[in-house]
Amino acid sequence: DLYPQIRFTDDTFFLPRKGPLNLNVATTNIEAVKFGIARVYLSQLPTLIHQGELDIVSHINAEIITSLSLKDYLNDKHAGIFKVVVHADSGRKGYAEQLVVITDLGIVAKKINDELWVWVNSLDSLEAIPKAKVQLMNYRDKEILHTGETDAAGFVKFALAAEVKKKNLQLLLTVAKDDDFSLLQLQRHPISTQDFNVGGIPYLLDGYEAFLYTERGVYRPGETVNLVGIVRSKNNEIPTSLPTRIEIIDPHYAVLREFPQKTDKDGACEIQISLPAYAPTGWYTAKIWSSEKQIGTSKFQVEEFMPDRMKVSIESDRDSYMLGDEVDLKIKAVNLFGTPAVGHKVNASYVLESVPYQPPEKWDTFSFTDSTRTFEAEWIQLDEAVTNIDGKVTYQFTLPEDLKPPSALSGYIQATVQELGGRAVSASKRISIHPYSYYVGIKRPQSGTVKRNEKVKFDYIVLDRAGNVAAGRTLQVTISALDNSPRWRGHTAPTVKQVESHTLKSAAAVADFSFTPTTYGVHRLEVEDVQSGARVSTQFYVSEWGGVPWSMENPDTLDMTLDKAGYRPGEKAILNIKAPFPGKLLLTIEREKVLHYRTVMLKENAATLTFPIEDTYAPNVYISAMLIRATRSLEKGTPARAFGIVPLRLDAEPHRLKVEIDAPEQIRPNREVDIKFRVHGKRKGQPYRVSIAAVDEGILQLTRAQIPDPYAHFYQQRSLETVSYEFHNAITRDNQFPIKPIESLADLMNLEIFESPKPMKRRFLSERESVIVHEQSARVVTMSSTAPRARVTYKENKMSSRLNRDTVVRVVPVSLWSGLMTTDTNGHGSVRFKIPQFNGTLRLIAVAFSGADYGTATQKIQVRDPVVLLPTFPRFLSGGDRIRVPVSVFNGTDNGGRFTVKLKAKGPVKLLTENGAIHHTAIVEGASVEKQVEIAAGKEGHLFFSVIAHDAFGVATFHLSASGNGEEIQFAPIRLPLRSAAPPVTKTGQGIVRANEPADFIFPSNLRADTSEFMVSVSPLPTVRFANGLRYLIQYPHGCLEQTTSRVFPLLYLSDLARIIEPALAEKGKIDTYIKTGITKLEDMLLPDHHFAYWPGGSHINNWSSVYASHFLVEARKAGF
């Protein structure tokens, strides 16, 4: 037999005052129930109104529904908050409780920064309620914050004090009119906007915002970054000579440089950032500050890169396929100087991956995935091929058949084209693959607890692969109960027992079906399209009794569309609304505040409204709509409200500048080129600010660099700043309220009516921004950003000691920069660039701005000699290395011919040449090696040169040239560093020196003289023997939890020793700084569950390391930190 149980079936929080006021009580194996009804007040003890017994017609193991009519015990004077308790002496499941608010006062509210707007309407008639007393209170402290009275439209507005906005108050709205009372908990009843397009950056209400950009986005250590900032205030106005500070943060969060700047008359500033040759690689962040407030940011990379020399693309005959289809692929490789890349190896493959079917946005709330099916990604390697005379390779392959993934598939195609020396350039493409011709989607229109013997409804829809609704499809519906108990006996799969199975036909719109579970536990619903085999499944839990709050994650929505994508001031916007029911529509136009509102009575399920467009709507506003229906027409299980938001954008095209670039399509290197440009805007006689960059396309291709676009930045969509609240959907009869067990009816006198939402856990202990300061080569500590920032945080002499004495740049990247220029009053301007020795494509990038107008443009220039040399050298050399250097020679002249290619070397390397007659290799030192190759017109030839590196340090410089068909070509010098194959080492020794007696030191004999440094420390104290260990400890190079703690823990006890051993460490309180900043770093690694992350920014924890760090923090506190 089942345990005796009792529950409320509806769990209704709000009851319309003019409704039936019935609560249904469900009982199992209970014959009699005691009940009590208490009136609950916000500021005084509750009053018991009635208690009695409810007779139950019980049947063994059957759930019986008995109606409890509150009207029999309350009269119309008892509107307000009530608590109803039912109780049977049958163990812990023999009781239930329910809070209800009986009212005719419906509340809708919007919180907008420093204001709270409130509307009060009759739930029964939807009429506005005038002269209602509205109070805003902090119900945690029972403190009344504001009091007001609604006007004739049922509206009142409160101006929120600053402390109300800052404090985490539990806000409660109460409304009273005559003998009626209602309430709205703001934290409990917000309307979710996650399904609406409300994202973006915040509106600029005061202060400034900035757009920062660099000319190419990726740099090498030792190069110079050109950075431009454009600063604007509200409404894109130009600030007057604004003091700013630009801060450059390195990958370790250390402040690399700071630049105090003042904006010019156009609101712009420009800086050059010289990267140290020892700059660590990774992402750098540029931040611009005004009055200690960050107003803009931009990122750039520092990497040891070589520019691409080819462009690879993939084309497919179409973008979407079915399993079993044939796929035609064309892979094309083009040298960046414009010719096809002929004779290059191509490797291609594709991967089949399981992905969710992507329906049109209208069906986003449906699930189209079958979680019972699994799919392992399949990787298929295609045959190796070689590019033809056009630089192309064609592949044809057939997709596999008879795969049954959970939903759709994605084909990820990748192709790699190799240069002669092994360098590769890759491209990728995704194609959609449909294993099914149709997809079935399901959803529960209302989420929450599913209870035994109560119907649960599911909506379903069938779409074809293009997203069109498909009617008349035969569907097989199967509902199963899952028993997980076999897992306790070592099995992994649950036992599945089919409960119900039947067929359905899909319709031309959303259809639904219902299921009444009779057993508890996990259930699975499967709906399969019989012909295509597409299937969708979902699991739900059938509970013995309630207890889970009803979720409003997918509320009923309004379908709202505008007639245009953008508007101009003075025009009228037409809004089309499709609603699920007639009712009262509250419309607001919002941005960081509510600009306008109006109410409209919808007599039908559709409406068309018009709105005049104002200047203040820039760059965008939101039209928010709340539709409520009268409770007199509300049926069980139907929604009481619908909600929708649509962004309305102003057309900013008049502020987009048209930039024209006049440059030749092709030029030769080692020449000057004049780049002319003209800016067209709406203002005549207006000069503009313009920057022009000419960057190697091979650099931009590495990072898929985006064109700087200040127009897109300043006119991007701003985010919705308002929060809407209402309780109308809590009136529906299927929602839940948390049930709290009680022991007897007497507990009605001891209540906590409102449960405060749990505060959000803090991700970090402090909100301080941590930065990392590098001291010497490997001395790393964390530092609070509130401390004074140094202009340069690296000790350059120590860092540069890790480099070769001669800084080496293998190939100088081609990146030319004009700086900020000013056009004439007609928008004309020009810049002259000196093109170095280079063969490839230059991308010209123009950025123009003036006032609130912005524009960009790009154009490509091919740079090419008639004869092009493409050598491939390694990144560096080590002693004893022997390499073969491939050189590709392209004959771009009109005739075929014999070309002589010469390689000269300078430095600790040897060039080798072969005697073709006797196959003898001879070493040629300090001389050039010449080779010849016959090349037809428009074709490539290939040569190889052999090089041996000496066991030495330094730089090897190579000069490559070619001659033939009347052309003399000099390739840019190539400089390679020669490095040791062994890493740097540190060796130490110690001894005793007595007064007036000489002491001898034997230096290590296996160190290279040209790379060695020696330091002698003398102290009257024996503690000097710890010098090296302490230096190593402080300079520990890593930053995990254990290593950070180990770095600073000994300093609590060895600070005096450090001052003796290494005075530089102790100067100006550095020891304390190390300890304090170590504490800050550990605090920032603290997770919400009070463990420490093992690595900064991570989530992995190690219990012993957390204890270790905690021990250090305890000892640091004892030491006074």
Q: Which residues pair with 385 in a beta bridge?
A: 346
Whole-number pLDDT of residue 1119: 85
Q: Is residue 223 domain-shared with residue 273, that is, in the same domain? A: yes
742 vs 926, residue with greater confidence: 926
Q: Is residue 294 domain-shared with residue 318, that is, in the same domain? A: no
Q: Give the angle 844-845-846 at the CA atoms, nearest 5°.
A: 120
707 close to 692: Cβ distance less than 8 angstroms: no
Total length of the chain? 1121
Q: What is the DSSP code (8-state) at residue 650?
A: B
Query: What's the domain range around 603?
Result: 559-653+718-724
Q: Is residue 518 domain-shared with residue 592, that is, in the same domain? A: no
Burial (CB count <10 Å: 0-12, 13-18, 19+), residue 553: exposed
CA distance 472 to 544: 37
- Residue 57: HSE in the Cβ half-sphere, 13 Å Cα cutoff: 3
Two structure tokens written together for 278: 């020892």
pLDDT tens, position by position, 557-592: 888 999 999 999 999 999 999 887 888 999 999 988
In a domain, 430, yes or no: no
Q: Considering only CA atoms, which of 41, 126, 132 is closest in space to residue 82? A: 41
- Nearest 5°: phi and psi at 666? -145, 140
What CATH number has the domain bearing residue 917?
A: 2.60.40.10
What is the 3-state composition of the chain as percent helix, strand, coil, each rounded to the nearest 5?
10, 45, 45
Whole-number pLDDT of residue 692: 97
Q: Which residues pair with 122 in a beta bridge?
A: 105
Q: Considering only CA atoms, which of 504, 503, 543 is closest in space to residue 523? A: 543
Instruction: Identify the band that residue 263 occupies on the pLDDT scale cut at 50, 70 and 90.
Output: very high
pLDDT tens, position by position, 591-603: 888 899 999 998 8
Whole-number pLDDT of residue 750: 40
pLDDT at 802 over 90: no
- 1090: Cα separation from own chain's centroid: 25
In a domain, 822, yes or no: no
Whole-number pLDDT of residue 711: 96
Span 184-208, average pLDDT: 85
Q: What percent of the chain has pLDDT over 70?
A: 83
In a domain, 279, yes or no: yes
CA distance 1115 to 719: 46
In a domain, 710, yes or no: no
CA distance 1068 to 1074: 12
Whole-number pLDDT of residue 744: 38
CA distance 607 to 324: 47
**Amino acid occupying residue 532:** S
Whole-number pLDDT of residue 806: 41
Q: Is residue 331 domain-shared with residue 406, that is, in the same domain? A: yes
Q: Is residue 77 domain-shared with residue 127, that is, in the same domain? A: no
CA distance 156 to 606: 29
366 close to 461: Cβ distance less than 8 angstroms: yes
pTM: 0.74
What CATH number has the domain bearing residue 175?
A: 2.60.40.3580
Two structure tokens written together for 124: 């029964």
- Residue 276: HSE in the Cβ half-sphere, 13 Å Cα cutoff: 20
Of 53, 78, 103, the position where a domain reaches its end is 103
Span 398-412, average pLDDT: 94
Of 724, 743, 774, the position where a domain reaches its end is 724
Span 1034-1056, average pLDDT: 73
Of 508, 543, 578, the position where a domain reaches its end is 543
Q: Is residue 55 domain-shared with residue 112, that is, in the same domain? A: no
171 close to 146: Cβ distance less than 8 angstroms: no
CA distance 134 to 155: 10
Burial (CB count <10 Å: 0-12, 13-18, 19+), residue 164: middle
* Segment among 95-104, 357-366, 994-1003 with least mean pLDDT: 994-1003
Helix (H, G, I), strand (E, B) or coil at 1037: coil
pLDDT at 809 over 80: no
pLDDT tens, position by position, 752-796: 433 333 333 323 222 222 222 222 222 222 222 332 233 333 333
For residue 191, the tally of other CB atoms under 10 A from its CB is: 19
Q: Name the domain count of the chain.
A: 8
* Segment among 357-366, 834-843, 1064-1073 with least mean pLDDT: 1064-1073
CA distance 248 to 255: 6
In a domain, 1069, yes or no: yes
963 close to 979: Cβ distance less than 8 angstroms: no
* Segment among 260-264, 843-847, 996-1000 with least mean pLDDT: 996-1000
Instruction: Give the highest mean pLDDT range of 454-463, 689-698, 721-730, 766-775.
Output: 689-698
pLDDT at 436 over 50: yes
pLDDT tens, position by position, 215-244: 999 999 999 999 999 999 999 999 989 999
Q: Is residue 163 domain-shared with residue 84, that is, in the same domain? A: no
CA distance 182 to 109: 13
pLDDT at 904 over 50: yes
CA distance 185 to 730: 12
Q: Is residue 392 domain-shared with residue 482, that is, in the same domain? A: no
For residue 788, the tally of other CB atoms under 10 A from its CB is: 5
* Segment among 411-420, 573-582, 629-638, 807-816 with least mean pLDDT: 629-638
182 close to 106: Cβ distance less than 8 angstroms: yes
What would the DSSP string read from start to end of 620-635? Answer: EEEEEEEEE--GGGPP
Q: Label residue 718 left, alpha or beta by phi (over 0 means left) and psi (-120 to 50 means alpha).
A: beta
Q: 167 Cβ partners below 8 Å, 6+ apart?
A: none
* Segment among 268-272, 475-479, 684-688, 790-794 with least mean pLDDT: 790-794
In a domain, 835, yes or no: no
Whole-number pLDDT of residue 432: 95
Q: Is residue 1023 domain-shared with residue 1111, that is, in the same domain? A: yes
Span 997-1023, average pLDDT: 74
424 close to 491: Cβ distance less than 8 angstroms: no
Kind and range of the H or E element at 1033?
helix 1027-1034
Q: Is residue 94 domain-shared with residue 110, that is, in the same domain? A: no
Q: Is residue 1021 domain-shared with residue 1077, that is, in the same domain? A: yes
CA distance 385 to 343: 9
In a domain, 25, yes or no: yes
Two structure tokens written together for 755: 């449960």
Q: Is residue 906 domain-shared with residue 943, that is, in the same domain? A: yes
In a domain, 125, yes or no: yes
Q: What is the mean pLDDT of the chain?
A: 82
- 1040: Cα separation from own chain's centroid: 25
